[in-house]
């Protein structure tokens, strides 16, 4: 049976890119005050960043509701396809639970996978799964490959503005004050269980972005088998720099090394100017 690949838009694939690879996106919800938008449907990424005001009221995001997943699943099941749906980590969002609730109505024809990742990490899994689906692989084989990729994945990020993280509630006021007094920039690690943990603290963002590169290179066991994505929050020059540093230090040519711009889920919670690197090995 043909397999359809579905993902929530937290994977930060823009709709044209997802469509070109055969990935159906279920949009997260973005709220600016009382106005609500669907990511990539009612609100383009450029419009989101134009509206984003670090000094003002921050937008909020919400997971796609179960009925949005159900409508997408039904369209594929009715077309005679089995569905694999990859979602943002269940440890940081209700999205996985909503997709699972929707899948329960399709008698085993829909398989929901917790990527234990987000943003570019989820994109690597979704695009890899879509490639296998296009090649004719069945759902069982695709799910087995996804499980292997998840076991090999890593992610590291650095954010220059602790005040933005504090406004979004990701850190508390005490952590903000400590960071400002100690002049530290946190580096965040994506843990194996899909949670975000502190990896290190450094004195400047210049050191942080260099450390993100160095840690990424150290953690890769087989760089020549790696698929890598650099994710930036509205700072393409920073992403180009990090990509170049990775190519210089990897010691091998990876299978894939691309750049993505972070969407609303990342930017609304951490602000512009951040950088992250996600990897998996095939």
Q: What is the dihedral of CA 264, 271, 217, 197, to 10 degrees?
A: -90
Average the pLDDT over 63-88 and give the result: 98
Distance CA 235, CA 262 (A): 10
Cβ partners under 8 Å of residue 202, min gap 6: 184, 185, 187, 208, 211
For residues 8 and 145, state if they share a domain: yes
Tokens of 31: 């709220």
Provide the 3-class DSSP secondary structure of residue 52: coil
Of the residues 124, 151, 178, which one is the last residue of a structural domain?
151
Query: Which pLDDT belongs to residue 37?
Result: 95
Query: Which pLDDT belongs to residue 166?
Result: 56
Query: Which pLDDT belongs to residue 268?
Result: 79
Q: What is the pLDDT of residues 96-149, one digit of tens each?
A: 999 999 999 999 999 999 999 999 999 999 999 999 999 999 999 999 999 999
Of the residues 121, 151, 181, which one is the last residue of a structural domain?
151
Of the residues 120, 151, 182, which one is the last residue of a structural domain?
151
Straight-line distance from the first to the last Cα atom of the chain, in angstroms, rounded to the nearest whole number: 25
Question: Which domain covers residue 246, as residue numbers?
Answer: 154-281
For residues 119 and 221, state if they share a domain: no
Least confident of 13-22, 25-34, 103-112, 190-199: 190-199
For residues 254 and 272, state if they share a domain: yes
Query: Which pLDDT belongs to residue 67?
Result: 98
Query: Which pLDDT belongs to residue 8?
Result: 98
Query: Which pLDDT belongs to residue 185?
Result: 81
For residues 104 and 184, state if they share a domain: no
Average the pLDDT over 254-277 and give the result: 90
Judged on CB neighbours under 10 Å (0-12, 13-18, 19+), 215 is middle
> Does position 276 have pLDDT exceeding 50, yes or no?
yes
For residues 131 and 209, state if they share a domain: no
Query: Which pLDDT belongs to residue 169?
Result: 52
Q: What is the pLDDT of residues 172-223, one digit of tens each?
A: 444 434 455 456 788 889 999 998 887 888 888 999 999 999 999 999 999 9
Least confident of 144-148, 167-171, 266-270: 167-171
For residues 171 and 146, state if they share a domain: no
Question: Rounded mean pLDDT of the chain?
Answer: 91
Whether 256 maps to a domain, the answer reads: yes
Q: Are 8 and 88 in contact (CB under 8 A)?
A: yes
The CATH number given to whatever domain includes residue 16 is 3.40.50.10170
Average the pLDDT over 268-275 and give the result: 83
* pLDDT tier at 164, thresholds 50, 70, 90: low
For residues 257 and 186, state if they share a domain: yes
Whether 194 maps to a domain, the answer reads: yes
Judged on CB neighbours under 10 Å (0-12, 13-18, 19+), 175 is middle
* pLDDT tier at 168, thresholds 50, 70, 90: low
For residues 127 and 10, state if they share a domain: yes
* pLDDT tier at 57, thresholds 50, 70, 90: confident
């Amino acid at each position: 049976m043909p397999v359809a690949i579905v993902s929530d838009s937290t994977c930060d694939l823009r709709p044209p890119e997802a469509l070109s690879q055969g990935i159906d996106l279920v949009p997260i919800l973005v709220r600016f005050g009382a106005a609500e938008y669907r990511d990539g449907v009612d609100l383009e990424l450029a419009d989101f960043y134009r509206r984003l005001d670090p000094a003002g009221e921050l937008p909020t995001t919400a997971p796609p509701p179960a009925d949005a997943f159900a409508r997408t699943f039904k369209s594929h099941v009715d077309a005679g396809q089995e569905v694999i749906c990859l979602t943002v980590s269940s440890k940081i969002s209700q999205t996985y639970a909503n997709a699972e609730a929707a899948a329960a109505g399709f008698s085993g024809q829909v398989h929901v996978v917790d990527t234990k990742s987000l943003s570019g990490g989820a994109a690597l899994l979704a695009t890899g799964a879509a490639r296998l689906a296009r090649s004719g692989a069945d759902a069982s084989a695709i799910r087995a490959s996804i499980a292997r990729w998840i076991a090999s994945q890593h992610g590291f990020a650095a954010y220059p503005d602790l005040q933005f993280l504090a406004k979004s509630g990701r850190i508390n006021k005490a952590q903000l004050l400590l960071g400002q007094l100690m002049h530290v920039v946190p580096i965040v690690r994506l843990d194996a269980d899909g949670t975000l943990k502190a990896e290190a603290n450094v004195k400047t963002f210049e050191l942080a972005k260099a450390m993100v590169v160095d840690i990424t290179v150290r953690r890769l066991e087989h760089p020549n088998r790696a698929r890598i994505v650099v994710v930036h929050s509205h700072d393409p020059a920073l992403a180009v720099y990090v990509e170049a540093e990775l190519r210089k230090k990897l010691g091998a040519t990876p299978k894939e090394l691309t750049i993505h711009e972070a969407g609303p889920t990342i930017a609304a919670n951490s602000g512009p100017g951040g950088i992250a690197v996600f990897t998996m090995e095939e």
